[in-house]
Amino acid sequence: MNNKIGKVTSGLFWTYAERILAQFITILVTIVLSRLISPDEYGLIAIVNVFITIANAFVINGFGNSLIQKKDSDDTDFSTVFYFSLAFSLGIYLLIFFGAPYIASFYNMSELTLVTRIMGIKIPIAAINSIQQAYISKRMEFKKFFFATLVGTIFSAFFGIFLAYRGFGIWALVGQYLSNSCIDTIMLSFTSGWKPKFLYSRKRMKSLFSYGWKIMAVGVMSTLYSSLRNLIIGKKYTSADLAYSEKGEQFPSAIAGNINSSITKVLFPVLSDSQGDVDQLKRMVRRSIKIGCYVLFPLLFGFCMISEPFVRIVLTDRWIGCVPFLQIMCITYALQPMQTSSLQCVKATGKSGLYLSIDLIKKALGLVILFVTVLCFNDVLVIVLGALITEIASVLVLVPVNIKIINYSLREQVLDILPIVALTTIMCASVFCISLLNIQSFVVQLLLQIFAGAFVYIFLSKITSNENYLYIKKIVVSRFSK
């Protein structure tokens, strides 16, 4: 048991390090590009990204997970899924390529045709990358992600900024996105230690497909649902409205995405290996929820408190319209660790049918809320507020599932995160008090708020001997001492 928890600890360390470093660089690039590229141009790339993200969902979800979930997957399994995924992704790309003019016509933006076709190259690249990631995750060698991501992120950052300074506008964003995917995949081909072999088994593909298609369906539905809001905003309102909404979601999504993707990468393979031990499953799920919330709550709720001075200083006043969207999405994404860990447990125990059923219920609720906000209110902000209501409902949907699989009640969840909520509340109060001082300089106000929030949260964690603080401190000290 200790060995498996040790794998979770080591994996989380390297995965958190990878995501935090990558996102730090990405945020810096976003800040630079936001100053060089207009909200309207960002709105155009956001529209294209909706369709590319939907297409990617078909190739990156499901089959990689089936390789991880299968206990004895070998070279034949990995090569079989690789060739199937690559062929499937090329078919998806052709649909995007020939469908690009219709997308441009739907939004009355002729320039979208070429941009969509070029951005679509990410689809087959993502298919290759998903198998590489599955191979590394299966072996718990998460350190390799760190170095591959580092190189890809740094290269694409400089490339995107270079193109923006040269006046390429929207193509700077295209160049950044594509180069990041390409370099990351190339680096993993060298560091993963895996190469596809000339092996293919229809029988094994059928077995892997039986598990994987349900996970893929969930991923596709989740992507369609999350993208539908942007599709509606982009069509019904202006590209600037979509840019504000997308930019308001970008920072909270980046922060939460790092935590949740780290939990997913690390927890799923370990839980899959422990699927017969309910007590151990429960311990690992509880630990990941508490660690995820302990890290995520102060980051997102703190960011919500400092959103206005942050936007004015970092993105400039022309992006001030994204502030209310940013605040809503900070609260929305703060609820995700409770869902992520529970859903990984469902997947790891082989209950892909239950996983699909849960997602169908969540998406049905989400669609009802989305269409009510769209049809009854002519306000982009209300549409985004609907995402928060949906997230709350999704957490409640998972309560009976947690009780059934690992006997983890809502009361236990609340008690697990209650100390974190208390720490975060006091931290936010200290940040808010500084905003009342009527400081003339936004820069001074922002720095004081960040310092006060971090100090109060860490200080209170230390004097109360918060278990999550002590656990993280032990991990960090252990890693650096090595």
> Which of 82, 45, 90 is closest to 66 using CA atoms?
82
First to last CA, the chain: 22
Look over the chain and give the mean of its residue pLDDT values, rounded to a whole number.
81
Q: Is residue 464 part of a domain?
A: no
| Rg (the chain; Cα; Å) | 22
Q: Could you read off the pLDDT of 409-435 as tens digits, one per residue? A: 888 888 989 999 999 999 999 999 998
Q: How far apart, in whole angstroms, are the C-alpha atoms of residue 157 and residue 27?
A: 10
pLDDT higher than threshold 60 for residue 274: no
Residue 428: the pLDDT is: 95
The average pLDDT across 209-218 equals 75
Q: Is residue 403 part of a domain?
A: no
What own/partner pairs with CB < 8 Å and gap ≥ 24 does 174-180 have? 174/45, 174/115, 174/118, 174/119, 176/29, 176/33, 177/119, 177/122, 178/118, 178/119, 178/121, 178/122, 179/152, 179/155, 180/152, 180/153, 180/155, 180/156
Q: How far apart, in whole angstroms, are the C-alpha atoms of residue 472 and residue 405?
A: 27
Q: Could you read off the pLDDT of 75-92 as tens digits, one per residue? A: 888 888 889 889 989 999
pLDDT band at 224 (very low <50, low <70, confident <90, very high): confident
pLDDT band at 298 (very low <50, low <70, confident <90, very high): very high
In sequence order, which residues have a C-beta less than 8 Å from that of residue 136 and are 6 or more positions away? 142, 144, 145, 188, 192
pLDDT band at 2 (very low <50, low <70, confident <90, very high): very low
Find tokens 């939907």 and name the residue. Answer: 54
The average pLDDT across 289-302 equals 89
pLDDT band at 187 (very low <50, low <70, confident <90, very high): confident
DSSP 89-105: HHHHHHHHHHHHHHHHH
Full-prediction pTM beyond 0.75?
Answer: no
CA atoms within 13 A on the CB side of 254: 19
pLDDT band at 207 (very low <50, low <70, confident <90, very high): confident
Cα-flanking dihedrals φ and ψ of residue 140, to 5°? 55, 35
DSSP 375-403: HH---HHHHHHHHHHHHHHHHHHTHHHHH
Q: Is residue 140 part of a domain?
A: yes
Expressed as residue numbers, the domain containing 184 is: 37-230
Can you give 204-218 as a three-state secondary structure string?
HHHHHHHHHHHHHHH
- Tell me how far CA of residue 232 lies from CA of 229, 359, 373, in angstroms: 5, 21, 11
Taking every pair of C-alpha atoms in the chain, what is the biggest distance, in angstroms? Answer: 69
3-state secondary structure of 366: helix
- Is the dihedral angle over the CA atoms 461, 465, 467, 469 positive or is it negative? positive
Q: Is residue 351 part of a domain?
A: no
Residue 12: the pLDDT is: 55
Domains contained in the chain, number: 1
Q: Is residue 313 part of a domain?
A: no
Q: Is residue 112 part of a domain?
A: yes
Q: Is residue 121 part of a domain?
A: yes
Find tokens 């060698």 and name the residue. Answer: 141
Report whether 43 contacts 238 (CB < 8 A): yes
In sequence order, which residues have a C-beta less than 8 Å from that of residue 128 and are 6 or more positions away? 82, 85, 86, 185
Q: Is residue 397 part of a domain?
A: no
Q: Could you read off the pLDDT of 117-148 as tens digits, one per residue? A: 999 999 999 888 888 888 877 776 666 666 67
Q: Could you read off the pLDDT of 21-67 as tens digits, one per residue? A: 666 776 777 777 777 777 777 778 878 888 888 888 887 766 777 77
Residue 1: the pLDDT is: 47
Work out the number of other CB atoms within 10 angstroms of the CB of residue 463.
8
